Amino acid sequence: MREIVFDTETTGLSFVGGDRMVEIGCVELVNRVETGRTFHAYFHPERDMPAEAERVHGLSAAFLAKHPVFAAGVEALLDFLGDAPLVAHNAGFDFSFLNGELERCGTAAVCRSRMVDTLAIARTRHPGAKHTLDALCNRYGIDRSHRVLHGALLDAQLLAQVYVELMGGRQIGLGLVSEAAPIVVEQVVAAPARTRPLRVFSPSDAELAAHAAFLKKVKEPLWGVAASE
What are the residue numbers of the active site? 150
SS (H, E, C) the chain: CEEEEEEEEECCCCCCCCCCEEEEEEEEEECCEEEEEEEEEECCCCCCCCHHHHHHHCCCHHHHCCCCCHHHHHHHHHHHHCCCCEEECCHHHHHHHHHHHHHHCCCCCCCHHHEEEHHHHHHHHCCCCCCCHHHHHHHCCCCCCCCCCCCHHHHHHHHHHHHHHHCCCCCCCCCCCCCCCCCCCCCCCCCCCCCCCCCCCCCCHHHHHHHHHHHHCCCCCCCCHHHHC
Cα 223 from Cα 218, distance rounded (Å): 10
The whole-angstrom separation of Cα 43 and Cα 97 is 13
